[in-house]
Amino acid sequence: MSHRRFRYSPWDGTQSGFELDALDVMGQLTDDLLYHGDVNAGLRRLLQEGFEDRNGDHVQGLREMMERLREARRERLENNSLGGVFDDIARELRELVDDERSSLDRLAQEAAASDDERREALTNNDVAERNMRLEMLPNDLAGQVKDLQNYDFTSESAQNRFDELVDRLREQLMQQTLDQMSSAVQDMTPEDMARLKDMMAELNNMLAQRAAGEEPDFDSFMERYGDFFPENPSTLDELLEVMAQRMAAMQAMLNSMTPEQRQQLMDLSNQLLEDMDLRWQMEQLSSNLQQLFPDAGWGRSYDFDGVDPLDFPSAMQMMSDLGDLDQLENLLGQAMSPASLGEVDLDRARELLGHDTAESMRKMSELSKMLADSGMVDTVDGRLELTPEGLRRLGRNALDELFSKLGEHLAGEHQIRRTGIGHERTYDTKAYEWGDPFNLRINSTIENAVRRRASQGLVGGRVQLTPDDFEIEQTEQSVRTATVLMLDLSMSMPMRGNFLPAKKVAMALHALISMQFPRDFLGLVSFSRLAHVFPAKDLPSVTWDYDYGTNMQHGLALARQLLAREHGTKQIIMITDGEPTAHIDSYGRSIFDYPPTRDCIDATLLEVSRCTREHITINTFMIDADSGLQHFVDRMTELNRGRAFFTTPENLGDFVLHDFLDQRRRLLNRR
């Protein structure tokens, strides 16, 4: 039996960590979700701005991707010139003509050395005539090709070079126009050319059938002409779209040329593709594709400002690159969510924009699926929404952030060293659940493990424990707190930058109680001009009210009603940045007054007195408090004997969490 060996070494900062996962994404989204409560809006921000993964690698957002794309386009346009499209052709023609002239000179020299006057005279006349024809070749390339096609070369090498040049140019023109057929276009015989013409005629006929409402037989077409399409398109639409892109790229190159260059290329194309029926079929196909795909970029043109000349194949490839960059820019410009980037051809993006940008696109495209697969979000009516698991993770992130800010002497205080939550044993046991005190009853736990093995048909051998086997001793509940968090959602909170810190505290407190003290009660009340009770599942989506007024009276009344149904130590934690400016009058109307009236202050203090009579402590956390709020809270704490804290947005979480834990520890110590 072989044993695998593993070697561990200290982290030195050079090793790569794990790939991006859903927890990283939720960490990146935490502040957005706390502020807006909208997973979709948070993902859109990540999509726009990018982020850093757990390895510290930067994942580009759309802004950076678009800038890299435009830079790639600028590099191509500023460094290259279309003037070279014809330079290589002209150079090759000059060279083969020079080769022919040299051959003619050799013929004349051989005739002169033969001492045969008649031969010399005939040869000189022929050489003079041929040199005249070469001298009279037109200036345009198409004219030169036409005349040389009718010229009888004396140089075998010149003839071969010319034939190869014509075949190569014909193939290049066909490959650009019918890109996906390139492998079948090479080394075409007259029979192959006839078959190509038949294929294009049938393709145009299929388009006519579709226009008439008939369904073309695409499978039969592919059986006969599939070798023209090595990409093996599965539908007629797929094939046509590819051809439209390539024909549009050819048109873009024509549009980008000067009028003289454009005419040269068109004349050259007509000369090389001398089959009139083939040209007609190609023009007909181009016309049909322009109608089917009007947005393929038929009118595109580019301004090349560089000096590096592009030969014909390079120019064709450049047009393909620029067309794909345009399409990619259009896709990125319309992307509304990270999942939209799943449509990008990453291999092509890597060729055009580089590895880093393509990797950023890949990671971005996986964000939504990653969250859904983790169970932290779900799709409801086409939108992503947090699940209970996502809500817990969000609260935990907020809790971790706030605890990380506590000093070392405070950070440890949230751990209560006394075992369990009670001290009197009841001699009853129960299966262990997460959050229970770990008062393990050994004999019952082992008995559960043995029974489990027996039910599985296992006899003898070692008994291994699993968490499902754990059984704990129950204790009488000795400490339980019931808390209502009152969260100010008046307009002043976002206007002063206090909303996000306050909501982060609410999420953290919910996470702390649900994870560490699951038997405690936490109620949630928001208040502005009116107050509302809301469940914890709605906490991420809670936002400020577009209304003025701070109705503490109504909030305290709702909190008192929630606590009336609970037992244990009761408290209200109120987070606010303003004095009471609204109350409910005797007619049930919400009255707003600023500055606060005597009626508003008295109504609020009356509710404070009711809370005091019901043994509810009110602890108030004032953010950036002014003198009016401080004076009111002084009167409130005098009535209630609660406590007041003057805080800032930066240290609000420190005060609330530390105070909650400190009070709970004191309750335990009194026992």
- SS3 category, 464: coil
User: How much is the pLDDT for 275?
Assistant: 56
pLDDT for the residue 173: 67
Exposed, middle or buried, 665 (CB in 10 Å: 0-12/13-18/19+)?
middle
Lookup: tokens for 301: 């043109």
User: Are 553 and 515 in contact, with CB atoms under 8 Å apart?
Assistant: no
Per 3-state DSSP, what percentage of the chain is helix, strand, and coil (rounded to 5)? 60, 10, 30
State how far the Cα of 459 lies from the Cα of 452, in Å rounded to an integer.
11
Using CA atoms, how far apart are residues 193 and 209, in angstroms rounded to an integer? 24
Instruction: Determine the pLDDT at residue 187.
Output: 53
Neighbour-count burial of 589, counting CB atoms closer than 10 A to its CB (0-12 exposed, 13-18 middle, 19+ buried): exposed
Cα dist. 431→85, 445, 475, 586, 604 in Å?
A: 81, 9, 13, 52, 47
Pairing of strands 481-488, 569-576: parallel
Amino acid, single-letter form, for residue 104: L
pLDDT of residue 273: 63
> With contact defined as beta carbons under 8 Å apart, do 339 and 382 qualify?
no
Q: Residue type for 322, please?
A: L
Secondary structure (3-state) at 651? coil
Other CB atoms within 10 A of residue 647 CB: 21
How many other C-beta atoms can be found within 10 angstroms of the C-beta atom of residue 136?
8
pLDDT score for 434: 58
Count of beta carbons in the 10 Å neighbourhood of residue 441:
19
pLDDT along the chain (671 residues), means of 10: 52 52 70 66 82 79 92 90 78 90 91 86 91 87 84 92 83 58 51 78 87 88 82 83 76 76 71 65 80 80 83 79 87 84 89 91 84 77 72 70 52 34 52 65 83 76 79 62 89 81 80 77 92 87 79 94 88 87 89 89 94 90 78 87 75 62 61 53
Q: Indicate the Cα dihedral angle 631, 633, 635, 641, nearest 10°.
A: -150
CB atoms within 10 A of CB 424: 10
Look at residue 383 and give its three-state secondary structure: strand
- Say if residues 509 and 515 touch (Cβ distance below 8 Å): no
pLDDT for the residue numbered 438: 67
Instruction: Take residue 321 and report the two structure tokens written for it.
Output: 């690159």
Structure confidence at residue 653 (pLDDT): 60
Amino acid at 161: R
**pLDDT at residue number 633:** 85
What pLDDT score was predicted for residue 417? 31
Category of 477 on φ-ψ map: left (φ > 0), alpha (ψ -120 to 50) or beta:
beta
| CB count in 10 Å sphere of residue 363 | 22
| Euclidean distance between CA atoms 508 and 388, whole angstroms | 15
Token match 């005797």: residue? 586
CA of residue 347 relative to chain centroid, distance: 17
For the chain, give the longest Cα–Cα distance. Answer: 140
- Give first-to-last CA distance, the chain, whole Å: 57
CA-based radius of gyration for the chain: 41
Instruction: Note the pLDDT of residue 299.
Output: 79
φ, ψ of residue 305 in degrees (nearest 5): -115, 5
Sign of CA dihedral 305, 307, 308, 309: positive
Give dist(CA 642, CA 624) in Å, integer. Answer: 19
Q: Does residue 596 have a cis peptide bond before it, meaning omega lies within 30 degrees of 0? A: no
pLDDT reported for residue 39: 72
> Cα separation of 514 and 171, whole Å?
72
Which stretch of DSSP H or E encloses residue 151?
none
Domains of the chain: 22-55+355-386 (no CATH), 84-325 (no CATH), 425-475 (no CATH), 481-670 (3.40.50.410)
